[in-house]
Structure 1
Amino acid sequence: MTVTVSMHFVNELFKGLPNSSTSPTRYLERAGISPFLLSAPHGRVTVEQFAELYRGLVNELDDETPGFFSRPLRGGTLKLLCLSMLDAPNLQVALHRYTQFFRILLDDFGYVFTLEGDFARMALVEHAPLLGSRTLIHELMLKLFHGIASWMIARKIPPILMECAYPQPPYSADYLYFYPGTVRFEQPQTAIYIDRDFLDHPIRQTKKHLGAFLKRAPADWFYVSFADRLLTHRVREHLARHLTTSGTVHSVADALHMSPRTLARHLKREGTHFQAVKDEYRRDVAIQALTCSEKPLISIAEALSFEDLACFSRAFKTWTGNSPAAYRKARTAGNAL
């Protein structure tokens, strides 16, 4: 999975945590994240690194929502939640159980599930001020719902609309991959809308599938490709297969059976443009290679279709605020500690 996330998710994860003898630096190093990224402009980590960090905090604190709420959700809570949903006759009944589960467990937070015309709406409700980072909690708890719902019916459920009860964050370009669909900020409630027809789908998963699902959490919830619905995702998938041989706007448009102008128009409608999609893909592949492999910098540059190492270094610094050499050096230094 060559997807990265903003350091926002890492920095905000440490807010609300109880005082501990374990410093944030040690948590980061255990997850393979260099502490220098905490203050790096535009720093990013792989989804796997963030998931490893999240799991480390969960295990250390015995709280599956680490520091989010006034009451910790002890280890095994998510497993019990899923078990309570597995024998539901369809997704609608399962989601009712989902909301009831959190109503029983938490006093300061919950979900409200409603039907509105052709849509089903799951909203977040705060009954008291949240202990952790409010924006991060909203982001992750909505992803939790969406990830579990999609897994339950073994179908990718495309979000139709996401409403966010917070201002548009500087890293909102990530939402095109994490919350594919229309996104509106500064709304009265944080909520996600899905097609109502999905509610009739039967539950496809069983207990024997649950262990693998939980082991991968939360990595599998961050990015799911909707290439059948979003042109941005189709472009990214094409680049993943053909970057070195078919990575120009004209060649991609031709491969997708449209003109460059049509490609540009559709991408603009999704809130992006071709060069941004290409740069985001190359940035993510570069970060993955720098943090998870020993590939020489020149080899990474060539694989990403840069003319030379200098061009790659300039682009990478524009994307992340640091040179590729700095990323690799920091990782090596962190591993040596």
Structure 2
Amino acid sequence: MAFVRAMVLAYAARGMDPVRALQAAQIAPEEVSHPRARITAAQMEAVSDAAMRELDDEGLGCFSRPLPWGSYGMLARASLSAPTLGTALKRWCRHHGLITDDVALALETVGDTARLTLRAHRRPQALTEFCVVSVLRNIHGLASWYVDSRIPLQGAQFPYSPPPHLDAYPVLFDGPATFEAGHAALAFDARYLGLPVKRDEAAMNQLLQRALPLTVRSYRRDRLLVQRVRQVLASQPLDAHNAEDLAALLNVSARTLHRQLRDEGASLQALKDEVRRQRATELLLRTRRPIKQVAQASGFQNEKSFIRAFRGWTGRSPGEWRSERTA
């Protein structure tokens, strides 16, 4: 409800009454001031849509000047022809600076991590949190739409103290959140930047008829999930023995993990076998480690289960397989 209160402040700044926007979302006026009140995603879409139209401001009072209806649609179109997500996001950040200089957006890449940063050029005010959350949710949602994939966050940081409604942040941003940072930022796997933009003009026209779900609702399908699972299994084999542990490392539920892998034509067991087999064969060929150590380094809890699995893969025990190839 804190975000609805921010919209009410935008109405007050214009000398306007928010009652119709609240009615459109079925939000009782007395609930707006309630510190523990919550609203649904559908209510957030409804009140935001009504407020943007009544105020003729897609920024909902966040910036020093209104962003007329269609501003964000114009930005989205300007990035549509980009070949990859990385290029699209760079264009978006650059063009956003043309419609308001209150904040500066940038895409930064360091190693395997990409960061979307937001730096405010105005002093903190009552709308700071709403502005930061809205802009970051907007660009994150659009990025996911461009490549038709969920883009899971490795972390999010914010330039203000933890709010009273801190428990809502895991819903808004799926990675760990930190506060009182120098600026706002979202961090994610840089491999997503190389995904091609999959949308066309027809898809854009359809999106702009009802774009708010991109900001309010999180994308579900992850086109890089198989790669991310392989990476975690290879880099943290001892921490990913079961689906629950692996899902926690990927910031998804075990049920979601299985469903999304199935949608991509993969299974967790098959990926485990693939990664473990590759790791085991490399260690058997390139090192003289005892079989027990190879088993542990490959993610097996004991030597017996490793030997059984290896026989299933190759028809040989690890020792026999190593001897045949190093003789």
TM-score range, shorter chain: 0.5 to 0.7
The CA deviation at 1:212 is 3.1
Q: CA separation in 2, counterparts of 1:128 and 1:21?
A: 23
Normalised by the size of structure 2, how large is the TM-score?
0.65
Larger radius of gyration: 2
Question: Is the aligned partner of 1:56 residue 2:50?
Answer: yes
Task: Check whether the contact 1:160–1:193 (CA below 8 A) recurs between aligned residues.
Answer: yes
- Cα distance, 1:212–1:46 mapped onto 2, change above 3 Å: farther
Task: Tell me what 1:172 maps to.
Answer: 166
- The code of the aligned residue for 1:38 comes to V
Task: Assess, with a 3 A threshold, how the Cα gap between structure 1 residues 159 and 28 changes in structure 2: closer, same or farther.
Answer: same
> Corresponding residue for 2:214?
220
Change (3 A) 1:211 1:131: farther
Task: State the distance in 1 between where 2:81 and 2:195 align.
Answer: 13
CA 1:215–1:171: 2 relative to 1, 3 Å: farther
Select the structure with the greater relative contact order (CA < 8 A; seq sep ≥ 6).
1
Q: Distance in 2 between matches of 1:215 and 1:171?
A: 31
Number of equivalenced pairs: 237
Q: Does residue 68 of structure 2 align to residue 74 of structure 1?
A: yes
Deviation at 1:182, TM superposition (A): 1.5
Say whether residues 1:84 and 2:75 are aligned partners: no
Q: Deviations over 1:168-209 (max 9, x none)?
A: 112222222220012111111110011111111111011111
- Deviation sequence 1:46-101 (CA, Å, 0-9, x none): 11111111111111121111111112111111111111111111111111111110
Does structure 2 retain, via aligned residues, the 8 Å contact 1:68–1:131? no
Which shows bigger deviation, 184-193 or 204-213?
A: 204-213
CA distance change for structure 1 residues 144 and 258 in 2, over 3 Å: closer, same or farther? Answer: same
Residue-by-residue CA offset, 1:116-150 (whole Å, 9 max, x unaligned): 11111111111223676101111111101101111
Q: Which runs of 5 or more residues in structure 1 are unaligned?
A: 1-6, 231-256, 271-337
In the alignment, what sits opposite 1:151? 145
1:19 positional shift: 4.1
1:195 counterpart letter in structure 2: D
Q: Does 1:182 align with 2:176?
A: yes
Give the superposition deviation at 1:219: 2.8
Matched, 1:162 2:156: yes
1:9 aligned to 2:3? Answer: yes
Q: What letter corresponds to residue 82 of structure 1 in structure 2?
A: A
Q: Tell me, in whole angstroms, the C-alpha distance in 2 between the residues paired with 1:267 and 1:183.
A: 15
The 1:218/1:182 distance shift into structure 2, 3 A limit, reads same
Q: Percent of counterpart pairs with the same letter?
A: 29
**Cα distance change of structure 1 residues 89 and 201 upon mapping to structure 2, 3 Å threshold:** same
Match of 1:125 among 103, 119, 126: 119
